[in-house]
Each structure stands twice: as structure tokens, then as C-alpha cells.
A and B are shown apart, each in its own frame.
Chain A
Amino acid sequence: MNNLLETKEVSKYFGEFQALDAVSIQVPKHSIFGLLGPNGAGKTTLIRIINQITMPDTGLVLLDGEPLQPNDVKYIGYLPEERGLYKSMKVGEQALYLAQLKGLSYSEAKKRLKYWFDKLEIGHWWDKKIEELSKGMAQKIQFVVTVMHQPKLLIFDEPFSGFDPINANLIKDEILQLRDEGATVIFSTHRMESVEELCDHIALIHESKKILDGKLIDIKRTYKTNTFEVGLVSDDKMALKQLIEAKFKVTPADFKSINDDLKLNIALDANGTPNDLLAFLSAQSQVLHFKELIPNASDIFIQTIQNN
């Protein structure tokens, strides 16, 4: 069994409103899985179903190939988008309480917390109340209580909101390290640059339906349009442009360069190869820049949703 988590045809209605329509996803072991979609698409509902906060109307959730059991909450660490802590409770006491709710014994919880507090250098916060801490500090505590029971499935809903860049990086590194140590991560976000950076699998949910999923590289391959970005130096740029336009589909390109060159995006048809294009171009001009245009996650996101 290569998938840690699978949802099979999961549907959920809230009254008349259908929040999820037969959504099936497969989250491979040790992957970082990006759950993407516009606001209100149903991501949070799906995550809540995986956490057994909400029950699906139809469909099945499998963890390690077995239907989800109430006891499985101890294998899952969940950092919700709407998160917080008891404001008037002390940091240590609170973390211990939440750890015990996840099924750890008191002494085990204490040992793990000490490890994490030392690692993130926040040990001196133990006796402080949450209301005395800044938002970023509270977020760190929140992160610790999410991961301290060593869950095999981690679910982060917009994990970087509220962090400054330094702490966001710190948390990102921790997430990667947890993945390397064997955890599987589901990651829901709007920030496409972090998807690009972290995720190896994605699923895109739009208007309650899953409209795209798979390995990010595979998706990129299917979404690329055989288009190349070129920078050419020539004495007569207008003439060169007309010459190319006669043969290929051309749009203006925009990239940074130190030369006064002609910047174009050139789309090849299905049979065209980059070598043919390069041969053609080098015959007419000096080729300074030649790069295949690969759609980024953001382009795929926008394009897929507009097509639906």
C-alpha cells in the first residue's frame, strides 16, 4: 500500500448546499501533498472529514488502507486555519493538556515537549500565559502541539500565515525534516510559491469537485505548451520579428536582461522541436536566451479554474 491516506468518493451536504461532490484523493506515503483551491471550494470541509470533525454523507476515508477509526486521531496532527490556544492558560500546562488529549501519557508528553521547546529555543516560555506572548510566538507553540505526538499524517491549513519570513523558513525546514523522518504532510494553502517549493503531489478542488490531481511534475508536463522564451540580438529587430512571425505563433515576452534584445515567446506546434527552432533562429540572429516555458503552480491553478 503506497498511499497513507485515501478518500473515496467523499460527498458532504450542508442542508441544500453541496460542500463536497464525490472527491477522491490519494496521498502517497512520505509525500508533501498540496490541497489547493479557491476560497469556499471545500478544502476545509475535506480536511475536517479527514480529522473526523465532520462526518461524510457518503464515501470512505482510508488511513493505511483501513477505514478511519475514532482512535486514529492520535496518528494525525492537525493545524487548522482557525487556530488559537487558551489565552489565560500557561504554555506548558496547555501543551501538556493538548498532548494528553492526543493520547500521550503525562510523562511521555513532558519528555517530548522538552525536546521541542529546546529545539525551537522557547523553553523559557513554559510558565508564561499565552496572552503574554506575541502572535508569532503563539504560532510556534501551536506548531509544537501539532507535531509533538509524532503523527504519521500531518495536516497544515495555511501554516505560514502569521509568521515572519524567518520563522516561516524555520517552520518550513521543520516540515521538510518531519517528512524526511517519515511523516506524510497534507498542506492546504493559497500561497503558490510555497506549493512550488514544497509539494510533490497536488489536488485542486473547485466548487466542491476535484478537478485536477497528481504528481506536480506530471501535471506540469501535461500543462506545458511547447513554448519557448527567447532573447535575440539583431541589427534590424523589426525585420527579424516579422520574419519569425511569418513562421511561428509569437507573443511578446518579458524577462530581465542586460542587452537590448528582442524578447519573444515562441509557440511551436505539436511536431516542432526546440532544435529546429534554435537552428532557425541562429541562422537569423545571435541567440542569447533560450528557455522552455514551464507553467508554474499559479498558472496551472488559474488556468484550470478558468477552464472549469
Chain B
Amino acid sequence: MNHLPLIIKREYLTKVRNKSFIIMTFLSPIIMIALFSLIGYLTSINNETVRTIYVLDETGFLSESFKSTEQTIYTKVTEVDLETAKILANQENAYGLLHIPNQPIETVSSVVKFYSEESPSLSIISSLESTLENKLSELKLQNNGVDLALIEASKTRIDMNQESFEGVKTSKVGSVMKLIFGGAAGYLLFMFIIIYGNMIMRSVIEEKTSRIIEVIISSVKPIQLMLGKIIGTSLAGITQFAIWIVLGLVFFIASMSIFGVEMSQTQAPQQALVSEALSNTDSPDKIQMIFNEFSTLPLGNLVIAFILFFICGYLLYSSLYAAIGAAVDNETDTQQFMLPVIMPLILAVYVGMFTVIEDPHGTISTVFSFIPFTSPVVMLMRIPFGVPIWQQIISLLILVGTFLGIVWFAAKIYRVGILMYGKKPTYKELFKWLKY
């Protein structure tokens, strides 16, 4: 008797009808939007603060290079000594006082000093420093008889054109897009495993604590129950994600039409990277360029690999979650078993974020894209950069092999664990269960 469809249906319906599931589905996008708006709002408040900086320039030729902006006002003080200037700045609630003692150009750089009540912000200090550095460098060049206009005219910008040996043209925009695609795929898998793996685990524990488990497995094989649970919960997860994506698109389109350009102010780091890449490009038609790049992505490969690696990776981890749920009696006991499951997952994301960006085909990223516990995430991040098909197939075969092994292992633990109550098992006992 194949009860799998029946079990999947029940698991799916119970999850989807659950009140907290429904609330989370509709509330979390709102919370996310609220959070981003809050961050955006706080950033804008921060940027609106106006700071006054007093400049006491005893040399007389440096203060003119400090130009007031909306956020920073430079007030030049003259004809007073340092102590009076300090008192003055303090009285007027200025952010600080920049003191440039009367020294020749060659030595003045070592004696400038910034006085302030609190420790000054790093960005202010570095802006002051760079202004001074630029001005002093210019002055020194002029003193040595160099024509500044000549220097300005000889400045060159390079935007490297890239082409692979096979003749495929790429660019920085392309790399950034690949990064986004790979990163999003890998990160999506990571989130999916964490959220829905936990859900599976909780649902197994629930069956144990409500003691229905023995009734159920007198009718169905434990492995059917386990697979039904995993698939049913995953379908619920896909439903939730689909709703989120639709809501996200609706919100995005709505806000684009209402706020227009304002959206670009609250940028995620990756978006900043894109716009930076875009602004550095002198191409007249940037949109056209993005579409060109998009079409050079290995889209077919990307989609198929995404589906395969996503499913295998997710099933691999979720059967481990199911086994953990079966081994314990309540959620607080899961901690010691969670760590070895979470560790490779986090490792995969870090490897993906740091080494794949640096060198998508380097030794570390390549090795990790073959190790089964990290391969789904790392390989998904690598694929947009073009991974040979044979590598993908081998990695997938290793993954499927491991997946089958893990399901066998998890099913053993599950089969024994669901009927064990009381004491929290040790790793040694789990190992013994394999032989039952």
C-alpha cells in the first residue's frame, strides 16, 4: 500500500492551515518592509545632522580648501590664539576644532591637530585628512614647478573589456550579476533548509509527544512517514516562498510607481555594487548592457542545476532534521545534535561568500563544491561563473549517493527513535540504533 500521497496531503494541509503559518506568511514581509523602512529612515536622520567644524588656520593658505557642504559647515576663525579658539568652539557647540599651526609646507602635515569633545567620527577625520593631503600635495608639486593642469589632463580611466578564450565577452557588470544570481540561489537554499528543516523536526517531535506515532506506524512504514513529512513540509514551504515572491513583486512595483527613484537610496550592498559597476561604465545604454549580460548567463544550466542541487541538498539536510526530531523527546534536547548539522551549512555559505567571489574556480571553492554537505550551496554559487558540466554531474552524483546514505541512516534512527521515550540519547546510543 502506498500511503505517501495521503501523508503528504495531510502534512501539507496541517502546515498550511496552521494559524501561525498563515500569520507568518503575511506578517513577515510586512515586518521586513518595516525594518528596511526603519533602517532607511534612521540613515536619513543620521545624514541630516549638520556639524560645524571650526578651522584655525595659522598658515593662511590651507583653510580655503575646506568647502562647506549641507552636512558639514566649516567656520574659519582668525586672529585668535589656540586656547581662545577652543573656548569659542566649545561655547558654540561646534563638533570640533581643526588647528593648523604656522609651519612651512614641508612640516605642517605632522603638527595639524583636531580637538573635539567626544571622539570624532572616522569619516570626518578621514575627510579632513584627505582634503589636507590633496591640498598639500598640490602645493608641493607647484613649488617644484609642475603644471597642475598637465596632471589633470593626463589622468586616465580604464574599464577593462573581458573576453574568454572561447570568445564570450563579459564585463564587470556581468561578474556582479553572476555573483547576485549565485549568491541568491545559495542563500535561498540555506534559508530554506534552516526554516523548513526546523519545521520538519518540530513536526516529528509533535508526533512523538502526542504519542500518535505508534498508531501511525502500525499502518505505514516509518520511511514512508518520514518522506511524506519532508515532502509535505517542503511543499508548504514552497507555497510560502511563492506567496512572499508575489507579495514582494507587488510591493516592489507599487513602491516604484509611488516613490520612483527614492527606492535607490535604501540599497542592499549588492545593489550598491551593481550601481557602482554601472556608474563606472561609460556605455551609453546601460539597460541594454544588462540584458546582454543576462543573455550570456548559462540560464538553462542554471535553472536545471538549481532545481537538482536544491532538491538534493534540501532533502539531505531535512532527513537529518527528521532523524534529530525522532531521536529526542522535546525541542530543548535538540541542541547537541543541531550543531553538527548547522556547521557544514554555515561553512558552505561562508566559503561561498568569501572564496567564490574572490576566485570561483580556485582550489577551495572547487573542493567545497564537491563535498556533499557544502556542495549544494557552493556549487549553486559557482555555476553562474560557468562550471564544466562534468564537474556538475560528478558533484551531483556524489550528492545523490550521500543523500541516499543519509536517508538510510536517518530512516534507521527515525524508525528506532520514534518509539523511544524518556532519556535523551547519546551519540553512542544513536550509533547502536543503527544495528537494531
Which residues of A are in contact with B by a Cβ distance under 8 Å?
14-15, 48, 51-53, 70-71, 73-74, 76, 78-80, 82-89, 97-98, 100-103, 142, 145
- Chain B residues contacting A70 (CB-CB under 8 Å) are 1, 221
Checking A73, A76, A89 against B14 with a beta-carbon cut-off of 8 angstroms, the contacting residue is A89
Checking B18, B211, B218 against A51 with a beta-carbon cut-off of 8 angstroms, the contacting residue is B218
- Chain A residues contacting B219 (CB-CB under 8 Å) are 73, 98, 101-102
Docked pose: A78 CA to B212 CA in angstroms: 12
B140 within 8 A of A: no
Q: With A97-B10, A100-B6, A103-B1 in contact, is A73–B218 under 8 Å at CB? A: yes
| Residues of B1-45 whose CB lies within 8 A of A | 1, 3, 6-7, 10, 14, 18
Contact A84 B211 (CB under 8 A): yes
> Would you give the shortest CB distance from A184 to chain B, in whole angstroms?
16
Query: How many cross-chain pairs have Cβ atoms below 8 Å apart between A and B?
Result: 68
Q: Mark B405-435, 1 if CB is under 8 A from A, else 0.
A: 0000000000000010100000000001001
Docked pose: A14 CA to B415 CA in angstroms: 13
Q: With A89-B14, A97-B10 in contact, is A82–B214 under 8 Å at CB? A: yes
Docked pose: A42 CA to B277 CA in angstroms: 72
- Apart from A15-B435, A86-B212, A98-B215, list 17 A-B contacts with CB within 8 A: A48-B214, A48-B419, A52-B218, A53-B419, A70-B1, A76-B218, A78-B215, A80-B214, A82-B211, A83-B212, A84-B211, A85-B212, A88-B18, A97-B6, A98-B216, A101-B219, A145-B215
Contact A80 B218 (CB under 8 A): yes
Docked pose: A74 CA to B3 CA in angstroms: 13
B73 within 8 A of A: no
> Would you give the shortest CB distance from B8 to chain A, in whole angstroms?
12
- Chain A residues contacting B216 (CB-CB under 8 Å) are 98, 101
Which residues of B are in contact with A by a Cβ distance under 8 Å?
1, 3, 6-7, 10, 14, 18, 206-207, 210-212, 214-221, 419, 421, 432, 435-436
Docked pose: A85 CA to B3 CA in angstroms: 18
> Would you give the shortest CB distance from B351 to chain A, in whole angstroms?
39
9 A-B residue contacts at CB 8 Å?
A14-B436, A48-B419, A70-B1, A78-B215, A80-B214, A82-B211, A89-B14, A97-B10, A101-B3
- Chain B residues contacting A100 (CB-CB under 8 Å) are 3, 6
- Chain B residues contacting A86 (CB-CB under 8 Å) are 14, 206-207, 210, 212
> Would you give the shortest CB distance from B410 to chain A, in whole angstroms?
18
- Chain B residues contacting A48 (CB-CB under 8 Å) are 214, 419
Chain A: CB-nearest residue to B214:
A80
> Would you give the shortest CB distance from A139 to chain B, in whole angstroms?
12
Docked pose: A89 CA to B11 CA in angstroms: 11
Interface SS majority for chain B: loop
Chain A: CB-nearest residue to B13:
A93
- Chain B residues contacting A102 (CB-CB under 8 Å) are 219
> Would you give the shortest CB distance from B51 to chain A, in whole angstroms?
57
- Chain A residues contacting B220 (CB-CB under 8 Å) are 101
Chain A: CB-nearest residue to B435:
A15
The winner among A48, A51, A53, A102 for most chain B CB atoms within 10 A is A53
Docked pose: A80 CA to B210 CA in angstroms: 13
> Would you give the shortest CB distance from B345 to chain A, in whole angstroms?
30
Checking A15, A52, A79, A84 against B212 with a beta-carbon cut-off of 8 angstroms, the contacting residue is A84
Docked pose: A7 CA to B1 CA in angstroms: 24
Docked pose: A288 CA to B179 CA in angstroms: 102
Checking A76, A78, A83, A101 against B6 with a beta-carbon cut-off of 8 angstroms, the contacting residue is A101
The winner among B14, B207, B212 for most chain A CB atoms within 10 A is B212
Docked pose: A245 CA to B214 CA in angstroms: 57
Contact B211 A15 (CB under 8 A): no
Q: With A53-B217, A78-B218, A97-B6 in contact, is A85–B210 under 8 Å at CB? A: yes
Contact B1 A53 (CB under 8 A): no
The winner among B1, B217, B219, B432 for most chain A CB atoms within 10 A is B219
- Chain A residues contacting B435 (CB-CB under 8 Å) are 15
Docked pose: A15 CA to B420 CA in angstroms: 14
Docked pose: A102 CA to B436 CA in angstroms: 26
Docked pose: A82 CA to B420 CA in angstroms: 11
Q: With A53-B218, A102-B219, A103-B1 in contact, is A83–B10 under 8 Å at CB? A: no
Docked pose: A87 CA to B209 CA in angstroms: 10
Q: With A101-B220, A103-B1 in contact, is A53–B6 under 8 Å at CB? A: no
Docked pose: A97 CA to B207 CA in angstroms: 15
Docked pose: A89 CA to B419 CA in angstroms: 22
- Chain A residues contacting B215 (CB-CB under 8 Å) are 78-80, 83-85, 98, 142, 145
Minimum-distance CB pairs A-B, first 9: A84-B211, A101-B219, A80-B214, A84-B210, A78-B218, A51-B218, A84-B212, A82-B211, A15-B432
> Would you give the shortest CB distance from B214 to chain A, in whole angstroms?
4
> Would you give the shortest CB distance from B23 to chain A, in whole angstroms?
15
Q: With A15-B436, A103-B1 in contact, is A87–B6 under 8 Å at CB? A: no
Chain A: CB-nearest residue to B19:
A88
- Chain B residues contacting A85 (CB-CB under 8 Å) are 210, 212, 215
